[in-house]
Structure 1
Amino acid sequence: MRFFLFFLLISRAVIAQTVYPQDYFQPPLAIPMQLSGNFGELRPNHFHAGFDFKTQQREGLEVHAAADGYVSRIKISPFGNGKAIYINHPNGFTTVYCHLQTATGAIEAYIKKTHYKEQSNEIEMFPQANELVVKKGDVIALSGNSGSSEGPHLHFEFRDTKTEKIINPMFFGFDKNFKDTKKPIVSAVYVYPLDGATANKSKQPLMLNLSLQKDGTYLANKVLANGAIGFGVSAVDYDNVSWNKNGAFKIQSYLNGKASFGYQFDTYSFDEMRYVNALIDYGRYKKTSQRVQKLFMKTPYNLSIIKTDATNGVITVLPNLSSTYRIEVADYFGNTTIINIPIAFDASSPIVEKEKVESNYFVKANKDNIFSKENMTVTFPAGTFYDDFAMNFAVNGAALTVHDDTVPVHSSFEITMESDKYSEEQKSKVYIASLSSSGRLGYNSTSVKGNLYATKVRSLGKYTLAMDTTAPTISMAKSIEGRWISNDKTIQLSISDSGSGIKSYNGYLNGNWILFEYDYKTRKITHHFSDGIVAEGANDLKVIVTDQVGNAATFETHFFRSQK
């Protein structure tokens, strides 16, 4: 037993490659820890940066400081992490608490003071080390559902304070809070013929049949191929308690017993997040929502967690040679699912040809590319894409087609459109819009110089010029005009915009700016009378909402309130 414990500690240290403190940090919630999302889980355009802790499907649970330290950053936004608090700790790590309902005590007072000082609903603050000191276990906030949260929970992260790299919370002893004896579930394994190769008489990716063996491993049907091939796997993991689909911690492939391609989710930087689109079969994901993690790189990319052989996981199948390919999918606790795939050479002609792509241009990923047609131009700087590809580029009337969104984009590229159809007064209302398949317009920040409109975007698809001259709408579910509302704790209004979208919203009581909190999921803004701005007796309320191109709407009413 002693040997086993010693081996376990050593193996964990090897996995992490850094000795992290095991008993320094406490859980941020005083309830049993259950995950709705784990570290490294595959998300749209990013890897998940921490743990999502369940909060019993409700808001308002006390959130505790994980250790002594000071609040180093606070960000309040209706999007992303919502209300977020960052705490720097003296041992060189930072903990992050997101989607909060509200901060508490001195932290909340600091936030509220800043809101009114800056007269801004969205703020970011960087307190000094002596301003908001906290002790381990202090209640710093209440859990919530703010920002881009899809339900009440607490998003919790560890970061290296100096480098800002995010770190798997399991390394800090949080594994003691979970029980997991379940192996990851592999739902699919694919073989990818590359560069004109054939696999099982197909030039297109094929899903392999898997059969469970007596020893608990899986055996795939034999891959008969010629030329270069790669493999991909779709997998999820469950623990014993939460029953949520989580991501696998480690995936490693072997060719004839030698490590070929693998990665584990231990630590990485925010600059690497978007490489999730290179790691997965992005086209399949956009078409089917299935995330297949590729175990090869046609073109190398700088995702630091990947460890690969000289071929970047690409296997060249040659005559008279047979190989065995093995995939191991593991969770943090060592539960492992193993798939063995026999490979042999086959010179048979393909039955399934490569999928045809509508295209009239070719994009080189490592070079600058400029394409123009009529009055529209697209400029791709080198490094915009992960791989070379055949692109469909066309202009049809007022619409520009830049391929489609099945090809991932790593960094922004520029679109310009020239038009003389708008007057000088109209130009400020015009923008380059994304055009969905249903005809819905999406706003992109656009500059104009003369008759030339320009924007930077990060997605392929259709674009067109659009003009928005319609102001936002503001409404109140139940009128308070001339009424006494002494028992109400808040004022709430609904705001929306059918064109370019809402840019700003500001409220005033008796001419004084007041804080409104915006929940874009419900399209409501809320002011709390506890801010202390409301006057005894008569009050005049004004709310101004402005959209992205400057159209503004004003709502005014008056009411009475007693504070006694």
Structure 2
Amino acid sequence: IPDNIPPVISSMYVYRLNEKPFNEFTPKQYFQVAGGNGNYTLNKVSTINLSGEVGFGIVATDRHSGNSGLNGVYSIELFLDGKAVYTSALERFSFENSKAINAHVDYPALLNLKRSIQKSFVDPGNPLKIYSNLVNNGRINFNDGKLHQVKYVITDSKGNKSNLAFNVQADPKAVINTPNLPAGTTYQYSNVNEFNSEDVKVVIPKGSLYNDLNFVYKKLAKPQSNAFSAIHQIHNNLTPLHLGFEIWIKADSTLKKYQNKALIVNTNRSSQGGYFENGYVKAKPRNFGSFFIAIDTIAPTIVPINIANGKNMAGLSKMSFRISDNLSGIKSFNGYIDGKWVLMEFDAKTASLWHNFDEQTKPGKHSFELILVDMKENTKRYAIEFYR
């Protein structure tokens, strides 16, 4: 694809880091950007007055010539008075760390504003190997009362460049303080962190936090239906996790006869998996949120698409179904023609399940059975006869 269009810079952000970990409470200022064709300035502003420790962030996209696609930019360089203080280049981005893109961007803004702001400062627990030329991890102190030149250089994969230049006046009066955080417990990103109460235990493994965390826990009332514990609010979903965490929730006495059906759900009633052991249900959610114990006693559903009892399937190359489960998710599916196991193929995106007929299924009458089992061993059987 021909590409001689430089990246588009649409906005710039200033983060008042104030020597504190980045989180959803970090004050940030939005600056409109003017210009185009590789040269950008701040809209109606040439100098920003700043004080103390700040970080910058940028919204930039690469528009290929010849198509309308917006692509990620290849590299972002930030210069202070002509010296590089931050570079990110996406060539060395490895797949096993792809979740850490949540530490590269302003994750609260991604969730709340659906806006992808690339931070130009690096969280201490961010494992990505895409950074170089870092000075103080990209955190800049403006404490000297002087005028400074700041410049972004954004490059796409073909080498087309765009610049954004502006001045910063270090001004001791230009302070924006970080708001007071809610009462919580400080968890260091470099440690294993544990929270224990009578009803819940949480373990955040080392390598899961990207920053030190002011951890907040709340216990909320038990939901009205299909709930066997209180709701446990484990921090909030604005803090991204690299490895998830482990949770043990104490079960009500009412769970007794359903212990093998128990799992943990979030308040959207989305299954987090889990199993019952020694009075608790244990699971490994991927993100913080609010959780409680529920049960799954309902078998999966099977909807036949092109087959019915007694139908002649002679002109058809396959039999098709749509399958689903209400909560814990489908664990296995097995199909049998005339008592012999046959290959069933599944497409998770469309929840479609099918069997392609082969020479094993000769002309004549046949029996077919489909058995679906969910993660809590609830079983659904579908049995018919058909002709070829």
CA distance in 2, matches of 1:349, 1:326: 21
Amino acid of the structure 1 residue aligned with 2:359: G
CA contact (8 A) 1:358 1:391 kept: no
Match 1:458 to one of 257, 279, 286? 286
Mark the CA change 1:300 to 1:551 in structure 2 (over 3 Å): closer, same or farther. closer
Is the 2:188–2:211 contact (alpha carbons within 8 Å) kept by the matching residues of 1? yes
Residue 553 (structure 1) aligned with residue 380 (structure 2): yes
For 2:208, the equivalent position in structure 1 comes to 384
Quote the Cα distance in structure 2 between the aligned partners of 1:277 and 1:413.
16
Percent identity, aligned pairs only, is 26
Q: Is the 8 A contact 1:252 1:259 kept in 2?
A: yes
Whether 2:216 is the aligned partner of 1:395: answer: no
Map 1:502-517 to 2 at 5 A: 502-517=330-345
Q: Tell me, yes or no, if the aligned pair for 1:374 and 1:395 is still in contact at 8 Å.
A: no
Query: What is the aligned partner in structure 2 of residue 419 from structure 1?
Result: 251
Distance in 2 between residues matched to 1:216 and 1:458, nearest whole Å: 40
What is the aligned partner in structure 2 of residue 443 from structure 1? 271
Q: Distance in 1 between matches of 2:125 and 2:322?
A: 48
Matched residue of 2:243: which SS?
Answer: coil
Counterparts of 2:83 and 2:203 in 1: how far apart (Å)? 42
Name the CA distance, whole Å, in 1 between partners of 2:123 and 2:310: 69
**Measured at CA, do residues 423 and 192 of structure 1 come closer, stay the same or move farther in structure 2, by a change above 3 Å?**
closer
Q: Secondary structure at the match of 1:493?
A: strand
Kindly indicate whether the alpha-carbon contact (under 8 Å) linking 2:306 and 2:320 is maintained by their aligned counterparts in 1.
no
State the Cα RMSD in Å: 2.2
Pair 1:246-2:71 in alignment? yes
Unaligned runs of at least 5 residues, structure 2: 222-229
Deviation, structure 1 residue 451: 1.1
Q: Which amino acid aligns with 2:155?
A: A
Over residues 453-480 of structure 1, what are the superposed CA-to-partner deviations in whole Å (9 max), with x where a residue is unaligned?
2112220001110101011111213552
Structure 1 residue 294: deviation in Å?
0.8
Task: State the alpha-carbon separation in 2 of the partners of residues 420 and 193 from structure 1.
Answer: 45
Residue of structure 1 in register with 2:40 after alignment: 218
Q: What does the per-residue CA deviation read over 1:215-262, in whole Å, with 9 as the maximum and x for residues that have no partner?
A: 952122322111111111111112122311111011111111111111
SS in 2 for 1:276: helix
Residue 4 of structure 2 is matched in structure 1 by: 181
Question: Are 2:360 and 1:533 equivalent residues in the alignment?
Answer: yes
Aligned to 1:404: 236
Q: Is the 8 A contact 2:262 2:275 kept in 1?
A: no
Tell me the CA shift for residue 445 of structure 1: 2.8
Distance 2:156 2:38 in 1: 16
1:543 aligned partner, one-letter code = L
1:363 and 2:187 are equivalent in the alignment: yes
**Distance in 1 (alpha carbons) for counterparts of 2:377 and 2:205:** 31
Q: Kindly provide the amino acid, as one letter, of the partner of residue 261 in structure 2.
A: K
Determine if contact 1:492/1:524 at 8 Å carries over to the other structure.
yes
TM-aligned CA distance change 1:337 to 1:285, over 3 Å: same
User: d(CA) in 2 for partners of 1:203 and 1:510?
Assistant: 65
Counterpart residue type for residue 518 of structure 1: F
| 1:298–1:314 contact (8 Å) kept in structure 2 | no
Deviation at 1:266, TM superposition (A): 1.9
For these two proteins, the number of residue pairs brought into alignment is 373
Question: How many angstroms apart in 2 are the aligned matches of 1:212 and 1:268?
Answer: 30
Q: Does 1:283 align with 2:121?
A: no
What residue in structure 2 maps to residue 431 of structure 1?
A: 263
Q: Pick one of 115, 121, 124 that aligns with 1:296.
A: 121
Q: 1 or 2 for the larger relative contact order (CA 8 Å, sep ≥6)?
A: 2
TM-score, normalised by the number of residues in structure 1: 0.63
Q: 1:301 Cα shift?
A: 3.1
Deviation at residue 374 of structure 1 after TM alignment: 3.3
Query: Structure 1 residues 560 and 216 mapped into 2: Cα distance closer, same or farther (>3 Å)?
Result: closer
Q: Greater CA deviation, 338-347 or 379-388?
A: 379-388
TM-score (norm 2): 0.90
Partner of 2:155: 330
Residue deviations 1:151-179, cap 9 Å, x none?
xxxxxxxxxxxxxxxxxxxxxxxxxxx21
> Separation in 1 of the partners of 2:304 and 2:180?
53
The answer as to whether partners of 2:146 and 2:169 remain within 8 angstroms in 1 is: yes
CA distance in 2, matches of 1:356, 1:535: 74
Q: Structure 1 residues 372-381 or 281-290, which shifts more?
A: 372-381
- How far does residue 312 in structure 1 lie from its aligned partner after superposition? 1.5
Structure 1 residues 497 and 388: CA distance shift in structure 2, 3 A: same
Cα distance, 1:356 vs structure 2: 5.7
User: How far off is 1:303 after superposition?
Assistant: 1.8
Distance, in Å, in 2 between the alignment partners of 1:264 and 1:526 is: 44
- In 1, Cα distance between equivalents of 2:15 and 2:122: 11
Is the aligned partner of 1:493 residue 2:316?
no
- The answer to whether the 8 Å contact 1:361/1:393 transfers is no
Q: Deviations over 1:287-317 (max 9, x none)?
A: 1111111111242633212103331111100
